Structures are given as C-alpha cells and as structure tokens.
Chains A and B, each alone.
Chain A
Amino acid sequence: MGLHRLVEKVLTGVQFGTAYADEIRAIPFARAGPIVTLVNTQPEMTALTSGTLFIVRSTGTFTILMPNPLTVGVGNYWDFFNAVNQNLTFDSETDEILGYGADAAVSLLRANQASEKTGWGVRWLCDGVQLIPMIHLADADQTIAHVS
C-alpha cells in the first residue's frame, strides 16, 4: 500500500488495523492495550481506555458500573478477567446490556455462585445501541446470570 493511500484512508476515517485491503488483512484487529489491576476500584471505561485488559482482584463483592452505550462510542471495548473468588457484577443504569435467550436486554451480568467465580472473563463491546458481553467461561458449569 502506498503511503499516500495509507494517509488517505486514515484521514477519511478508515481505521488502521481493521483490514480494508488484502495488504493489511493480517494485521491484528487492534493492537494490544494496557493491563490494569483493579482492587475495589471502578475502572474508567471511555474511548481512551478502549482495549484495556482489567484484572479484577477485589477483596469482596464488587460491582462495576457500566458506561452509557449511546455515548461511549461504537467499537470501543474493554476486557475483564476475574482473578479472585469474589462476586463480580457488571451493572448498567438501565437495560443497556445485550441479554441471553428470551431477554433482549438486561441490567446486570454477574457471577456469584459459590466456587464459580474465579476465572471467567468478558469483553464488553459497544455497538452504539447496547453493551455486548463476549463471555469467556472458566468451565462448562460456570453460571453467568443475566438479570433484568
């Protein structure tokens, strides 16, 4: 790809790193972001922190407040991994989270069953309408609750 084409793509709003041409299709969809450990602290979930991996090491039941998907920006995402055996809840102000099954939208996503708390993760992606949880279960029996 010529340099002028690269500059042209960027200036016209085409995101570098998502493939729009065969030449760059092998480039990862987004470069690796920082890793931040949370100990009972609310993460900053903004466009500036998109791509961050948050390792949750809370000392007790912990609730993370989710941003408004209408304002946070399409395509922004944040990864979480629960590294401790503590209840972890993601809480939106309203039903702004993509649900499961019959629930098109929910307010809470959490893992709080005994012995089923450690080791799960989730990527939160904003599509401009909702926050989409892409869930990584630690095993096939782990219970993730979607709560309206």
Chain B
Amino acid sequence: MSAEHDELRQVVREFLTQRSPSHEVRRLMDAGESRDEQVWALLAGQLGLTGIAVPERFGGAGYGPVELGIVLEEMGGALLVAPYFATVAMAGQVLAASGDEAAMARWLPGIADGSLTATVAVAEDAGSWDLAGITASAQPASAQPAGDGWAVTGTKLFVVDGHTAGLLLVVANAPDGPGLFAVERGAAGLETARLDALDLTRALASVTLRATPAVRVAAGQDTADWLQPAFDLVLAALAAEQVGGAARCLDLAVSYAKVREQFGRPIGSFQAIKHKCANLLLEVECGRSAVYHASEALAGGEPDAPLAANLAYAYCSRAFTDAAKECIQIHGGIGYTWEHDAHLYLRRAKSSELLFGPPARSRVRLAELAGI
C-alpha cells in the first residue's frame, strides 16, 4: 500500500462519514430506496469512484483490484446504501474482463460516469454460481441477420440490486454452451422484483426473462475460461467489503466496552470482553492480510490469484459474521434492539457469506484450487 492508497482511503472514509452516517443508511433502508441521488452523483462525479476500475479508454481511472478493494473496505464499514458493489465490482469488472470491445465501449463509459447501474445474474433456484447448474437458455433471434441478437429465457434469483439495475449481465446456456448476455432495463419480457431477504441495506432481486432480447458478450470465447477469473475479481472485492464491515463491528464493540459500566467498572476491563475483542482483532487483521494479498495478486496477474481471491472470501466471510455476532453479544441488550446498527451488520455479513452459495461449497472450491 502506497501513500496514494492511504490518501484514497482517507478521502473515501471522510466522504462516507459525512454522507453516509447511520441515520442516512436508515433513512434509505426504511424508504426501500437503492441510493441517495446526490450521494451517488458526488461519488461518481466528484470522487470518480464508479470509474476507479474501468480502463481509461472507456472513461475510467484505470486502476484495479487494489484501489477498488480500498474503496469497498470503507463502504463496507459504512454500510453505504448504493448499487456500487453490483455496478462497479460485479458488472464493471466482468465487462472489463470480457475483452469484448463493442460491449465495453457500449456500457463501460456509463458505469464509469455513474449514469448506468448494472449487475450480474447467475444463480437460479439452487443459489449456485457454478456454470454447470444453469438452466436459463439463450437462442439466436432469427430476425437478426447479423447473428448478434439473442433471446434469453429463464429465471434468475439472488441478483444483487437486480430490481434497479439499468443493465443485467445474465448467464444463460446458448447452443454452444454457457454464455454471458447483456439485457437492458425496459427490454421486452424482462421482469424484476425485490426479494424479501435478510440484508436491509443491499437488495436481492428475482429476474424473469421471457424471450428477452439480449446482446451476447464475448461471443466466440470459452465462457468458463474468462468468466471464472472475472468471478474471482468479484470475490476479492466482496472480501474487501467484508473485512471493512468486520473492522467496523470491532470498532463499535470496543468503543462501547470502554464506556459501558457494570459492576462499577467499564465492561471492557473484564477479561471475558477483552479476549473476545482481541480474538476479533486477530480475525480482522488476518482478513486484511488475505484481502490485500488477493487484490495485489489479481492486479499483478499472479498464478496464485484465483486461490488468493477464494481464500480471502472464505476467510472474510467467517470473520465478518463472527464480528457481527460478537458485536451484538458485547453490546448485550442494546445490541438486540432494532435501533442499534449491530443487526444491520449481521444482516450484511450473513448475506455476503451466502451470496455465491453455501459456505461449504466455497471451501470445496478452495480445496480444489489448493490441490488438496
């Protein structure tokens, strides 16, 4: 991490302290809104954060996983309510990894300047991101002579911010195997709806497509070859957000333990509380090490990057959920109230942990990558 990285972190942290304090998070949450328009405009325009990982020739800043990770770590701490993760970390990184010039030229500039929100839709009923389990299908639209028009049919679930995204990148089976298809909001036969789900600060949606017109992304490439590494970028980004959330849970717990008095002394002076907090610090710091290693390995195209990304996600999934649960426990009764933010972190933590499938599944993938 360089001095520029420290500066980026500081700028994002200050912005979020000002613009996404707890009461703002709760206002958006209660209203069921996906973002505050002014905050989105500032973070896209003034701070340029939506373009941080978009190549310069498509209007972005041309940075990569390291810088995006820093931004997400801070956003995870603040529980920012915005379609940033879906748009930038998921769709933006997947598009940029596709190598499809036409698709990148068409959509990346909108992602970079914040005018377009987007997401990636893979999982179906089974909740799995394994390409092998996909049942949605794509057929060439016969009306299109050039052959770049497709019609996609199927139902996607657990799509992050899928009910508001302007662009949906949908995985579906073409006659030649699984492929990625771009569907724009407003397309015929597209229906999206927010799901009633645990995380109140990040929505999951169902996406139904009925012969919905779509554009194939990275046609002619073996999807498994390029999409899996792109998913690894998404995992590392989510891990960064998770470790930011875990660190904030620890901060909340420590701050409370310093001032809350029982038996005539601060509860943080009791060993039982101290040990909980120190054990959480261990998890947070190990999580940070895993995240920083993964983003640097991805940025440098290191051979161990896929393993590092999966490891960071598996470790930080646990760390964040542990931290969120302990944060509630250390707060005692007040931690069990709706008014306290502790449950918002628990909701985000568990939701992030299960987003790509059962945790046992991600550990199996990790074992495969490690050659165990």
A and B co-occur in one complex = no
